[in-house]
Structure 1
Amino acid sequence: MPQTTPETADWVSRLADEVIAEAERRAPGKPVVCASGVSPSGPIHLGNLREIMVPHLVADEIKRRGVPCEHILSWDDYDRFRKVPAGVEGVDASWNEHIGKPLTAVPAPPGSLYPNWAEHFKAPLVTALGEMGVEVRQISQTAQYTAGAYRDQILFAMRERRRIDAVLGRYRTKQAEQAPEPSGDAAERAAVEGSGAAGEDDGSGGSGAYYPYKPYCTVCGRDTNTVTAYDDGTTELSYACECGHEETVKLAEHTRGKLVWKVDWPMRWTYEGVVFEPAGVDHHSPGSSWVVGGHLVREVFGGERPIGPMYAFVGIQGMAKMSSSRGGVPTAADALRIMEAPLLRWLYARRRPNQSFKIAFDGEIQRTYDEWDALGRKVADGTAQPADVASWTRAVGTAGGPLPATPHPLPYRTLASVVDVTTGDEEQTLRILGDLDPAHPVRSLDETRPRLDRAACWVETQMPAESRTRVRPEPDAELLASLDDEQRASLRLLVDGLADHWSLDGLTTLVYGVPKMRAGLPADAKPTPELKAAQRAFFALLYRLLVGGETGPRLPTLLLAVGADRVRTLLGG
């Protein structure tokens, strides 16, 4: 099978090499299993997405090599509802009454199309993953537990409860002393708070005996109870709930409960045969579920912990009102409203898992798109570095084929500027886009989609109101009357050159060239401090006459958007 070389290796290829070798050592001839786990306890944000993207990229590379591989996404939807998240529309303090119930037993937010809390928050991510080409086999832990899929594993864990307690006991003090502190980043705080392991008890306490199984009360539906007795022979388990209900059930038949998280996770590693699964920073502190789980899976369940890196948090730069209703932490669906799926994939593919990075929702997204387009050109002409080619290839398609792409991908910043100036008028937008490059004109807006739609959404939802462009309805007569001879001459050169330079490249040459001509310099003159100062002054004058400010969209794009006749009018020509 293909192996990476030092010249072509990127982090995905190197991990794929390791995973294939490890899978062959553990279970020769069986499909490789890569895993992700997500708790749908609230909006599933872009930090959580890394939990899915790292295994996806590795699994996809393994599939590209022709090796059978499966990526499972375990929905931890049988976890307890721990807290009411902030910023969920229609959800208030009344949801506190559901704390302690399984996520699938909590009502969905008002107006939801889904039957419960978990399904409501799963749905947007499932749709986003489909758009991104991420193939997973979804496993609902509610379905698994209530169907009795883990019955043998639960009975085994209860028989081995003293051994489990002994392993956990070695780490309880360490966890309390060395638990990681989340940073001030909103996504990081949400990741730590929403983690299936964070704050989850390990089954200790209560009656003094240790039990790794937690039933959900038959009466109130919560896990706010204490197991008071268990008989290994009959499998009878007794519990007392805070609601006052006491009950004895037969665990060999009981399906309304689950193993505590620190036992549940290593049990499932063995049950699913997981070879590769990464874990976030919060899972890697002493006493965490990842560390303790590694001992439990080996010492109790007779399996092995998956191999997999620790991944760093994903931050967000410049959130605006798009995410304000979600507590300030945007989701994959939010990102896909303002950027194309290949770009979002690339942001995760190009960084090693232990590297943190930020996803731009502010004007920096334009620079991100510029970088993405530049990489595409380098790949096309063969000048890109091998690792960059690898990340680009992983972004634009999967082992199953290419992702949909914009047929005529114009610069994102240009599209945003045009939409801003035209306020989304399609006829005006098409006129301007058609003039950008006369040699390759845009004849239909469909050629520029979906990128055009993403840029339009960014302008509508993320562009600050004070940055919106408002072209003057009438010439600024007072400013025009105050111009000196040099300024008038510069404007005359620009106006006279419009007809011969009416394209994006042509207008770029013209607006930069006018100060050169006025200084008696050739068109290809290299910039000097004096020339740069003259250009800045000229640009500022144009902005004042066109939009009433000192800055605005790139002037060539603005001129095209305003139109030649109106430009002549506003510039006094």
Structure 2
Amino acid sequence: MTSLIPVEIAENARAWPFEEARKIVARLGGEKPEKGHVILETGYGPSGLPHIGTFGEVFRTTMVRRAFEQLVPDVPTKLIAFSDDMDGFRKVPTNLPNQEMLAQYLNKPLTQVPDPFGTHESFGAHNNARLQSFLDSFGFEYEFMSSTECYKSGMFDKALLETLQRYEEIMAIMLPTLGAERQATYSPFLPVCPTSGNVLQVLIVERNTDAGTVVYEDPESGTKVEVPVTGGHCKLQWKCDWAMRWHALGVDYEMSGKDLIDSVKQSSKICRTLGSRPPEGFNYELFLDENGEKISKSKGNGLSVEEWLRYGSPESLSLFMFQQPKRAKRLYFDVIPKNTDEYFQFLDKLAEESDDAKRVENPAWHITQGKGRGNAERVPLSFGLLLNLASVCHAEDKSVLWGFIERYAPGATPESHPTLDKLAGYAVNYYQDFARPAKQYRAPSDLERAAFQDLVSELKALPADADAETIQTQVYEVGKRHEFENLRDWFKGLYQVLLGQDQGPRFGSFIALYGRDETVALIEKALAGEDLAA
């Protein structure tokens, strides 16, 4: 539970989770819901491996949930993570093993497709487990629900019979949104074939409302087959399914991607037809990969949660998700260092801020659930600096970095600074996988050579323990003494020649961390034409 703040502050907070939570408050109209609690839902289609967008939806919905609890602390909340694992397996994702085996199970419910990884009873179960595993690793509070279990257990039976009773009204909503060919065979109900087990997209030729059944023509034999709409014998088309789920579960809030705007409109109309008010929510922008393309479970582009957590902290991922949810953002490895450092900057600012009204506008307040840093230590240097230290040291293990860190921050050890120790590990991983392969060192120009020699003289004249500001001043003065058209060219030369990259840290801070004598030796190697990549 997030630490409570005065309600009047929550009522006026501008941060987007509070804006969204106020929609739920307005929905309640000052009354407690009949079911006794508020339900927020997130949906997951387990046709491919869970990707980071799935995490983002659960994280963002959790932020709205916590904001609502600030506004109405006496109304309980529940977050449902719903998996549409009864959906038919329409195509084999290209990033899965055992492609030929999987191709034999097309159109089967995902919970009837064998697990290509061999770890679970089905492909749907495998992906559900993956989803729950990484949600659990972030400490989310949620109730997992399986479409297969809901349909087969009878939980949805009443709502399915109501859907059958309102069949014509639902068809009137859906048919105008479809092309002529699709209109000819469309039905809200997808029968599950009693013999093949396939989820069938077939025309319903008869309906028996009293018996609660539908009749379809078997596409292979041509015979008519009658099946109940209840008990898992039929599944709904997904827009109808979404609406039925809102109706059956009493969902109060669900957000979705911008690509589902029209789907939300149709599902909302169907939900009203079934007699319920559709949930509140908003449409977030989609994540893009480094090429600007939408990330996709089936393509496997973009990042997985596991990949992000190899190179950055959980909090850095949370910050990426929190910031500007209605703006399209590129989601690839280069965004990890920036979000890691920005998170700690927000955390430091939160620790210094005593005004609750300002604290709730800080992303770190939402990420830490109002607790701030808690018992965690203050990180004495940036992740960007650690990355560059790992780079110049060609670090294969974080213990190499600690030799420099302990000199830069006396008293800091892996035991006393576990957060910093994790950052050092991330920095080594990032260097090995991304920075090292991308490095391109070059020789200094004549102008740079003279400036480098001057910098060596100035560094040797400084005390070995000179602080970062003193060193930065000398680096800056050396650049001004030489005829660079722009001082940025001076710093760019330092980065390209000494670090093999176009950008880098504040150079005075880097020297303070790496060491005066070590930096002098590095510059002298560059001036001598030695290979700094070795």
In which range does the TM-score fall when normalised by the shorter chain? 0.7 to 0.9
Match of 1:429 in 2: 401
Match of 2:309 in 1: 336
Q: Does the CA-based 8 Å contact 2:350-2:362 persist in structure 1?
A: no
Match of 1:81 in 2: 89
2:184 to 185, 205, 211: 205
- Tell me: CA distance 1:241–1:58, structure 2 relative to 1, closer, same or farther (3 Å): same
Q: TM-score, normalized by length of structure 2?
A: 0.81
Q: Does the CA-based 8 Å contact 2:188-2:237 persist in structure 1?
A: yes
**What amino acid is aligned across from residue 265 of structure 2 in structure 1?**
V
Asked if 1:260 corresponds to 2:241, the answer is: no
2:197 to 202, 214, 221: 221
1:92 to 96, 99, 104: 99
C-alpha distance in 1 between matches for 2:354 and 2:473 = 27
> 3-state SS of the aligned residue for 1:463?
helix
- Tell me: CA distance 1:540–1:217, structure 2 relative to 1, closer, same or farther (3 Å): same
> 1:31 Cα shift?
0.8
1:101 to 92, 104, 108: 108
Match of 1:511 in 2: 475
**Structure 1 gaps, min length 5:** 178-198, 471-475, 520-528
C-alpha distance in 1 between matches for 2:346 and 2:27 = 33
- Tell me: CA distance 1:432–1:504, structure 2 relative to 1, closer, same or farther (3 Å): farther
**What amino acid is aligned across from residue 456 of structure 2 in structure 1?**
L
Match of 2:257 in 1: 280
Deviates more, 1:100-109 or 1:247-256: 247-256
1:153-164 to structure 2, matched below 5 A, reads: 153-164=159-170
CA RMSD of aligned residues (A): 4.0
**What amino acid is aligned across from residue 462 of structure 1 in structure 2?**
F
1:54 to 52, 60, 64: 60
Match of 1:120 in 2: 126
- The CA deviation string for residues 359-379 of structure 1, in whole angstroms up to 9 with x for no partner, is 4521x4333334333333333
Match of 2:529 in 1: none
C-alpha distance in 2 between matches for 1:550 and 1:450 = 26
Q: Does the CA-based 8 Å contact 2:303-2:331 persist in structure 1?
A: no
Match of 1:350 in 2: 323
- Tell me: CA distance 1:116–1:407, structure 2 relative to 1, closer, same or farther (3 Å): farther
1:374-393 to structure 2, matched below 5 A, reads: 374-382=345-353, 386=357, 389-393=360-364
> 1:304 Cα shift?
0.9
C-alpha distance in 2 between matches for 1:541 and 1:329 = 32
Q: TM-score, normalized by length of structure 1?
A: 0.76
Match of 1:310 in 2: 283
Deviates more, 1:159-168 or 1:248-257: 248-257
- Tell me: CA distance 1:506–1:385, structure 2 relative to 1, closer, same or farther (3 Å): farther
Give the % identical residues.
Answer: 22
- Tell me: CA distance 1:104–1:391, structure 2 relative to 1, closer, same or farther (3 Å): farther
- Tell me: CA distance 1:514–1:401, structure 2 relative to 1, closer, same or farther (3 Å): closer
Match of 2:209 in 1: 232
1:166-565 to structure 2, matched below 5 A, reads: 166-169=172-175, 171-173=176-178, 205-206=184-185, 211-224=187-200, 226=202, 227-244=204-221, 248-249=225-226, 251=228, 254-285=231-262, 288=263, 290-299=264-273, 301-317=274-290, 327-351=300-324, 353-362=325-334, 364-382=335-353, 386=357, 389-398=360-369, 408=379, 410-422=381-393, 423-438=395-410, 441-442=412-413, 444=415, 446-463=418-435, 465-467=437-439, 488-497=453-462, 499-501=464-466, 504-514=468-478, 519=481, 536-537=489-490, 540=493, 544=497, 555-556=507-508, 559=511
- Tell me: CA distance 1:510–1:125, structure 2 relative to 1, closer, same or farther (3 Å): farther
Match of 2:158 in 1: 152
**What amino acid is aligned across from residue 456 of structure 1 in structure 2?**
V
Q: Does the CA-based 8 Å contact 2:107-2:200 persist in structure 1?
A: yes
C-alpha distance in 2 between matches for 1:268 and 1:550 = 52
Q: Does the CA-based 8 Å contact 1:64-1:399 persist in structure 2?
A: no
Match of 2:3 in 1: none
- Tell me: CA distance 1:498–1:242, structure 2 relative to 1, closer, same or farther (3 Å): farther
> 1:326 Cα shift?
6.0
Asked if 1:63 corresponds to 2:69, the answer is: yes
Q: Does the CA-based 8 Å contact 1:225-1:240 persist in structure 2?
A: no
Q: Does the CA-based 8 Å contact 2:79-2:141 persist in structure 1?
A: yes
> 3-state SS of the aligned residue for 1:74?
strand
> 1:83 Cα shift?
1.7
Match of 2:27 in 1: 22
> 1:411 Cα shift?
0.7
> 3-state SS of the aligned residue for 1:138?
strand
Asked if 1:129 corresponds to 2:108, the answer is: no
